[in-house]
Structure 1
Amino acid sequence: MRRSSASSGRSSLAPMRVHVKSDMGGNVRRPSAAASSSASHRQSGVPRPWSNFGRQSFGRLSTGSSTGIPRASNIRGKSMGMGMAASQRRSSAYGKSRLGDSIKDPRKLSDRSLQHRMTKDIIEFLSMQGFPHQISQKLMSPPTTKLFTAIVQFLYGHLDPCFQIVKKFEEEIPRIFKDLRYPFPLSKSQMFTIGTPHTWPHILGALHWLLQLVKYSMRVDGDKLMFNEDFESNSENKILFEYSSAAYKCFLEGNDDMMTQYDTRMEEELRASGIKAEDLQTLATENMKLQEELEQLEKQEDPLIVATKLRDQLKKDAKQLQDHLAKLEAQKSGLTQDALRLEEELQLKRQELESEQKENVRLQQIFDTQEFSPMDVELMNRQRQQLSMTLDDLNKEIERLEQQCWELEMKQSKQREQMQSVVQEYNLLARQLKLIPPTAENAHGVDYEMRLVFNAGSTANQVAMVDFVGTIKPALIQMRKQIADTCHSIEAARLTEEESLEQITDMINDKREELGLMETRLRRIEEELDHKKEMMSREYKKHADEVQDVQNQLQEMRLTHQQLEAKKDEALQELQDLHQAAVGRVQDWEREETEYVDFMIQCVELVCAHQDKIQDHFSSLQSQAMATLQETQQTEIPTSKLLSDTAAHQ
């Protein structure tokens, strides 16, 4: 019996399913409803210990048919599609939802006490199970990549004894947790930064989850998962299981001759257990129908591919519709704006028409009710023309003043842009020369960076220069010349503005005198024309408001003049500060130059002394060599005659 092969203490809970090919024969009895129910309750993979997430087991949910015999992996049908859909629905609580939102980890992994408890549990388990490496609380706070990889391999070895990390660990470990359906994702980048404070709590949580999984798998009886309590008492299931196991074994061994014997034996056992031949024939017929249905399903196109194509087509259609909708929205917005603009223009035209009509009515009433002579009317017309000309002159003067103010603002804005570009160029050159930041190579702890801060809401510039020191003396001289030129230009502009202000003041005085004459004429007209007193009073108030506006503009120009004076004082003060800093820097350079000259003189003296010593030593060596050469030359060299005489004598 197959049950005897799985002991209660086996360390692996891998699936023990029997896959039956469609060509194994047709005499397979369909199990009863109880057998189907018991088969559907078998767990495929490693069970999960957590109960708060809803499922009782880990691993993939079964996608087999309802007959209790799983189909081959290459079969695509409705039952598999439904199983995959059910698996996706049931496992949606662990991974990302269909909307793409990741679930939040309910564990407070940043809590130090929780981290300490998890680490303690891992160390205790590893110590009890004979972990081959040294382990301690200190080594786990946090561990090295090598130690972490060894721990994962040791823990996962209890689930799969044949497991070895042969590929890159940063790819293999996240795949392991994904296969085990760990509800929270582990990225490849986290494997490279295991010891960082923001990564280690999540890695520790995953490691503790794997530890709980291993503990649960060690407590669970594998036989109870594979064979329920009714398996022994149900003879039909027992016969079917033994037949399926033996037939699959023959199929793997390629022994097709034994299939007939197994079919005959199964029929005899089923008859002996009380099953009628009619039932066997019915099951055989139903099996043939199922095989035909299976062949038809295999010939059909994969529903997943069809659905994928349909999804891609729908995405393209949706994108085209969105683009078209965006174009229509843009066109609608443009048409709406045009309609609003035309509506506003129409409203303005209506208001102008209404005002003109009212003015015509008023003038007609005045014309109908007037009791003056033609000379009086002509006099009033001349006075009205004079007032209109005066009003036009005032309006032109106001426009001229506004134009001058605008030109001054534009000039000031251009000057700001020029200053910013100069400062940026200076900072860029300083960075290239390694003077910025203060920690740069040539900075020596001094902040050489120039910063410009313009005070918003005011026409004057407040420029902050923090510890600015020129790089070289000619640059400082050139900068001083530029500042002097700027001061001269500002002074010239100030003088020009003062002259303009005097001219404007004279013009205002003239206008005031003219205004007095106008008021006198207005009072005379009011005495003569009582019914126009209110109208002329309104015109007088209007002219008075215009004069007040001119006075306000004069006051603003005075404030601008004061601000220019303040800016001039600030520029002069900055020039003095820069001059003092430049003088100090020049003194420092002169002192450093003196030190460098003294150092070079000392070095030259040392080099000359060393050269003299070498020259003396060389002279002594040369004299010794000459003496040795002379001694060698004076030594008598034996000749051939002397050698022959010596030989004859001997």
Structure 2
Amino acid sequence: MRRSSVGGAALGALNSFFTSSTSAIPQRDPRPLKDRSFQAKIGQEIHEYLLTNGFELEAGHSLTPTALKSPTQKDFTMIFQWLYHRLDPNYRFQKPIEQEAPPILKALRYPFAQSITKSQLTAVGSANSWPSFLAMLHWLLELIVTVERYQSGAYDDAAAAEGIDVGADRIIFRYLVRCYRAWLAGDDDHDEFLDEMSTAFDERAETYTSELSRLDAENAALREQLAELHDGEEPLKKVEDSRTLIETDTKKFLDYCSRIEARITKITATNAKLRDEISASDAELRAAEEEKGALQAAVDRQGLTPADIDRMTTERDKLSKGLSAISARVAETRVKLSEREAAATSALEALERAVARYNTLAYQIGLVPASAPNAGGREFEIVVAPSAGGEEARLLVDAAAGWQAGAVVAGGRDLRHEVRPALMELRREIAGRIHEAQDEGIRTQEAIDRVTEALAERADEVDTLHARVQSAVGEYQEIKDNIAVEGNASNAEIEKLEKELAGMRVGMREGVLAVEQRVQGVMIERDQLAHAAQALRERFHGEVDRILNEIIKFKVHIQDTLQGYEQLVEGELRGNDALMEG
């Protein structure tokens, strides 16, 4: 048996779109109904909506070009009925449109329903009445579009922006609508819809659980960043330290450039000196050649023998060879000296870079200067002694001796027996701090585990409530089956009585009145049973609604409890941070 929808009752879920009440005094319509352009605009919108959504195919009525300009009574009736069926598909029009339309418009809370009369509805195509009815159809169209957008979730983002979660309400609303439609179709079995609602709530619970896990991970990451910001240096101080370090590096680079320029000046002077020596050597060579010519002339004048000349030549060759050997040894010694000087300079520059990197790292971890937080009043900074003056001054202590290994560090500090033990002691201290932080992290994780166990217990309570709902639904189904059995028995009894009545009519006419009275009593009893079954069905529907409300309240309670646990964990973490900072 298919039940019929009854006007306003079918639209109870849509009341949130309308005003709470309508005034008994007709309101003045503020829309420009007499404006031809306005009429053409809303008529075009209605026409496009009808064609787009298959009006002609569903209603079996063709729209003429003048259907929304000068319509017939049938055009208006078909359009109105088709539009209203978009809101309530199960409603059946059984009366003329002038009797059906006013109650429907009042149920829909149409603001100007009081201005529409039955006499106007009998002649909707007149020039005076049609603008009002066209505006009414356009209002009904906008209502349909709004309801469709609401059902499709178009307004969920706006609700979410206001902090309102409509997901649960949408699941319950969808369940109630489908149950109502099934009831109108004569189907009282709603277990499938209840299972779908339970599945939807389970999916939302899983979504909330995953979101909670993600937020916990994000919260942990943010807490780690906050701890790093609290434990580390302040950003301004870090920038100032970087600026100081850059200034120091700039100063060292400028010093290095100054040394390079000094070396360039020295090499330029050396080149000029070598050019002067070459010029002097050329002058000496010319003087030697002139002296050779003079000596040759003197020899010629002295009348030396060839043996004397050979002897003098031999002695000169020996002297030349000795001079060449000495010059070669001097050149070789200069080359070795240059190589040793270059190696010493490279080693000194590598030492300066290593010391600069050491001092930079010590400054970053708070070891330099002696007043730094991790220095403990000890001096960890290392200064290389041969770092000022020219190239020769950096490699030589004085004109005759170079730097000793123990004197390279300024102040004669012993790195192996003074600085290294202090660094090892600081390393052990930092390792102890790390172990303490790890222990504190373990304690925090244990607190989080306890909170997780509490959440698991709450989830068990939710499962228990679901089981109670299933039990109530089973009891409702059993009572419904009993009512159906009693109804079948009543129908069988009625059929039996009808057969007896037919026999009694054939056998004796005198008992007709008594039998009719008995039939009426049975019919009254049947109606009473039907009303009792309807009341029992409504009572169980109310019980299901009450249980659903309890579930929703319990969900809100779980959310509040989770927020409380989150605040408790945050308080404990802040307390732990305060203890660590103290």
TM-score, normalization by structure 1: 0.24
TM-score, normalization by structure 2: 0.27
Structure richer in helix, relative to its length: 2
